[in-house]
Amino acid sequence: MRVRWINEGVCFPEGFLSSGVHCGIKEKDKDLGLIFCPQECWVAATFTTNKVKAAPVVVSAKKIAQNPTAKAIVVNSGNANCCTGQKGLNDAKEMCYLAAKELGIKEEEVLVCSTGVIGALLPMDRVREGIARAVKQLEREDLNFSKAILTTDTHTKRIAVEVEENGFTFRIGGCAKGAGMIYPNMATMLAFITTDVEIPRTELQAMLSKAVKESFNRISVDGDMSTNDTVILLSRKGKQLPKELIPIFQDVLTRVCESLALMIVRDGEGATKVVKVTVKGAKTEEDAEKACRKIVNSLLFKTALYGEDPNWGRIMGAVGASEAEITPEKIDIYFEDVKVVSCGMAVDPDAEKEATKVMQRDSFEVVIDLKMGDAQYHMFTCDLTYDYVRINAEYRS
């Protein structure tokens, strides 16, 4: 099998076009993007489980429930179109209508996503003009689209892969945005994935859900779930994926999602470190997950990461508060291969000095061994810095 990874995005698979323009939703930078495939695509998606859902989430979820195919996605940044009432719903629907009209396709074939500030109405006069220009500027390059979906991100996040096996070739391309309000559940910030092979809707949805569970659902920047989180996967009809390649496609799709998820953590607002937290030796996977999530969302733990302080007491406190079944006197804690806690107690001061050296890296792993069983779970997080506070304090300024 030949696998080739490249720095491209949603237009790498054959048949997809995209564009990105500045229409004035934001003061500067691109703020409206479009993905288009003239050929019909099967569509799969996951959405935020936040009970406060943005208008585009409501509209797109309903469309996908009623129609298993799509040809286009219109996306704006700088405004979440959330908590905007019936006007917001009408605006989200109008974005679909306008894109469909300009593209010459059916309205039900267009999905919509938004990201940005909650509570403000979209400047629809600018959006209308932006959609018209975005359609005219469709191209095989996807960098402009990747730029158009950003908010507090410092750079674009995109990846693509080509796989050849037994004379059959397929491609997957993806891009994402996200740097803050990152703690999804069965969804993510905004992520768009395309493939040039046809996979039936039911199988496609199952594959995406599994990939999301193993990637985007295992990251945390700040423990806050967005109202707009969405992942959409488009599978272009026409070239059937051989059944024997389904496991390979699943693995590669998961790796694409993992790569995008790690880019998001790396670009966490103000972040300087990416840290993998692994809880092993749990009685059940549920216990391992409970403990892991409690640790990665602990503000005390995340500030200790920034301070490069191996304050393992914060980890012990988080594990104890997680409701996982534990025996404190059994727990071991490692920073990479440096053991700082043995059977619930400190090893020695020299171990903490070595752990401090580990924490000076921009990425490392923290392992918590509960010694209760064989189950384990891992997640990725980042440190919490002064810049995170500054960025969010100034977000609407």
Please state, for a pLDDT cut of 70, what percent of the chain lies above it.
98
Are 29 and 77 within one domain? yes
Angstrom distances, CA of residue 182 to CA of 100, 156, 177, 265, 276 = 31, 16, 11, 8, 16
Q: What per-residue confidence (pLDDT) applies to 222?
A: 74
Instruction: Report the CATH number that the domain containing residue 340 is assigned in CATH.
Output: 3.10.20.340
Q: Which of 37, 44, 103 is nearest to 71 (CA)?
A: 37
Are 31 and 147 within one domain? yes
- All residues at 6 or more sequence positions from 184 whose CB lies less than 8 Å from its CB, including other chains: 48, 216, 217, 219, 225, 226, 229
Query: Looking at 188, 194, 227, 385, which residue is catalytic?
Result: 188
Are 152 and 217 within one domain? yes
Are 58 and 112 within one domain? yes
Residue 381 domain boundaries: 274-393
- Asked if pLDDT for residue 280 goes beyond 60, the answer is yes
pLDDT digits (tens, 9 = 90+) for 96-143: 999 999 999 999 999 999 999 999 999 999 999 999 999 999 999 999
Q: Whole-prediction pTM value?
A: 0.92
Q: What per-residue confidence (pLDDT) applies to 387?
A: 84
- Residue 166: burial class (beta carbons within 10 Å; 0-12, 13-18, 19+): exposed
Q: What per-residue confidence (pLDDT) applies to 188?
A: 56
Angstrom distances, CA of residue 35 to CA of 15, 103, 144, 343, 368 = 11, 11, 11, 54, 43
Q: What per-residue confidence (pLDDT) applies to 199?
A: 97
Are 80 and 172 within one domain? yes
Stretch 318-344: mean pLDDT: 97
Are 291 and 254 within one domain? no
User: Containing H/E element for 289?
Assistant: helix 285-296
Q: What per-residue confidence (pLDDT) applies to 45?
A: 97
- Asked if pLDDT for residue 356 goes beyond 60, the answer is yes
Listed residues 249, 266, 283: the one ending a domain: 266
Are 244 and 301 within one domain? no
The secondary structure of residue 43, as a DSSP letter, is E
More confident residue, 223 or 291: 291
Q: What per-residue confidence (pLDDT) applies to 224?
A: 72
Are 53 and 177 within one domain? yes
- Asked if pLDDT for residue 187 goes beyond 70, the answer is no
Predicted confidence band at 84 (pLDDT cuts at 50, 70, 90)?
A: very high
d(CA 312, CA 317): 9
Q: What per-residue confidence (pLDDT) applies to 304?
A: 96
Listed residues 202, 232, 266: the one ending a domain: 266
More confident residue, 19 or 386: 19
Are 251 and 140 within one domain? yes
Whether residue 84 lies in the annotated active site: no
DSSP for 24-38, please give it: SSSSSS--EEEEEEE
Stretch 213-217: mean pLDDT: 93
Are 216 and 358 within one domain? no
User: Which residue type sits at 234?
Assistant: L
Residue with tokens 């390979």: 248
Q: Which of 125, 122, 131, 176 is nearest to 20 (CA)?
A: 131
Are 164 and 36 within one domain? yes
CB atoms within 10 A of CB 307: 14
The secondary structure of residue 55, as a DSSP letter, is H
Q: What is the three-class DSSP state of 392?
A: helix
User: Containing H/E element for 369?
Assistant: strand 363-369
Listed residues 227, 242, 266: the one ending a domain: 266
User: Containing H/E element for 295?
Assistant: helix 285-296
Instruction: Report the CATH number that the domain containing residue 43 is assigned in CATH.
Output: 3.60.70.12
Are 209 and 349 within one domain? no
Angstrom distances, CA of residue 322 to CA of 270, 316, 319 = 27, 10, 5
Q: What per-residue confidence (pLDDT) applies to 397?
A: 53
Q: What per-residue confidence (pLDDT) applies to 186?
A: 59
* Strands 32-47 vs 69-79: parallel, antiparallel or unpaired: antiparallel
* Total domain count, the chain: 2
On whether the CB atoms of residues 328 and 295 are closer than 8 A, the answer is no
Q: What per-residue confidence (pLDDT) applies to 282?
A: 98
